[in-house]
Structure 1
């Protein structure tokens, strides 16, 4: 069993056969930790600023790979919003939507685009680092995760949070390498960090960036 605490929310993850009574006891034992963690997260959230714009309209600035890029909205005969990127984001919006409030639809289209792009970037970093120490994942999945940047399953399945595509590329690379190293070493011992350092000698600065700005990233688009 484990407890996942996010802003204003406590989630208990337990196997199906665990009784409600045992879950209740588990939560009671962890009650003080839960209260302290909730308070800490709430305090930290006050220092984080959402990176994404409030409204996705022409001229808005969209965060991507550690920078911000202008959004251009253009009409199209297509039936679905199409996203392109060339030093700016271009949202081709169907004529039927162009005269309406299409912010939510553009946000949804950008999310789909960024998830696809994040998969491409993750696969690039895996290819770049996996062969050196034979750290080959069974599968690579891009997920929406509320409390994790990545994970490595017992069968070497790598999961990466797509929101990392908003961060600088070196931060995404760090998380990919971190999870790849768990294929060989399942803990966070000195041997694990030494393996990470073999791939990324400056991993500590990348890790520090994620700790400092992770709260803003988690706010999403």
Structure 2
């Protein structure tokens, strides 16, 4: 097998990529994309003109896969740390067969995930965040509930992508587990917001007055969510 460095350059919408030609005895022409480079694998007897035809015919397919790999690489770079209650924790990958995460001081240790396994890392960290959310939200709810004229019902976690919390007519409250990445005052604001719905199932002036009674700094917290809320979706 012989390999030629940068046999040609293929222009793509996201930037040009090098194409490396690998000659190998095989029946079909293969294309492999890895580490930002494209390999064109073909039998030594196939002409370069034919190879260029195949390359151009698969240009859109190549562009999609190159872009996907670049995005995954960027995602992995973004997943080297976790925002936990507003403080940044380094993520440390460790060996082991069982996929789990644990907090060791100011480091989140993640076991059973191979380097580069972005989806696996996201899954393990999200499970850990949900477990912490169940404990934290229940504790915060207990502190707020003593100040509420009407007691809340069941507390559960939400995975909604457009709402941070909800409150039913029966008084059941759902809070988005991703809030565990935000500073604690942001969690308290969302909780106060939903508790205010126990008395006012609307967003009237009376509702906002009740929210302010429970959490006076609600305007700054709401502004934080509008500006920073999208950053809470790194892990799912």
Normalization by structure 1: what TM-score? 0.67
**TM-align CA RMSD:** 2.1
Q: Which string of whole-angstrom CA distances, capped at 9 and with x for unpartnered residues, describes residues 138-168 of structure 1?
A: 1111011011111101211111111111111
Return the alpha-carbon distance in structure 2 between the equivalents of residues 208 and 84 of structure 1: 31
1:81 aligns with 2:102: no
1:56, 1:107 within 8 Å by CA — same for their partners in 2?
no
Which of 29, 52, 55 in structure 1 is aligned with 2:76? Answer: 55
Per the alignment, residue 140 of structure 2 pairs with 125
SS at match of 1:84: strand
Runs of 4+ that moved beyond 6 A: none
2:93, 2:110 within 8 Å by CA — same for their partners in 1?
yes
1:67, 1:168 within 8 Å by CA — same for their partners in 2?
yes
Unaligned runs of 5+ in 2: 1-73
Quote how far apart the aligned CAs of 1:207 are.
1.2
Number of residue pairs matched by the alignment: 162
Quote how far apart the aligned CAs of 1:194 are.
1.2
Normalization by structure 2: what TM-score? 0.63
SS at match of 1:123: helix
Per the alignment, residue 231 of structure 2 pairs with 216
Unaligned runs of 5+ in 1: 1-52
Quote how far apart the aligned CAs of 1:115 are.
0.8
Structure with more contact order per residue of length (Cα contacts < 8 Å, sep ≥ 6): 1
Quote how far apart the aligned CAs of 1:124 are.
1.2
Per the alignment, residue 111 of structure 1 pairs with 126
Quote how far apart the aligned CAs of 1:64 are.
1.8
Where does 1:156-167 land on structure 2 (aligned, <5 Å)?
156-167=171-182
Considering fraction of residues, name the structure with more strand: 2
SS at match of 1:124: helix
Quote how far apart the aligned CAs of 1:56 are.
7.2
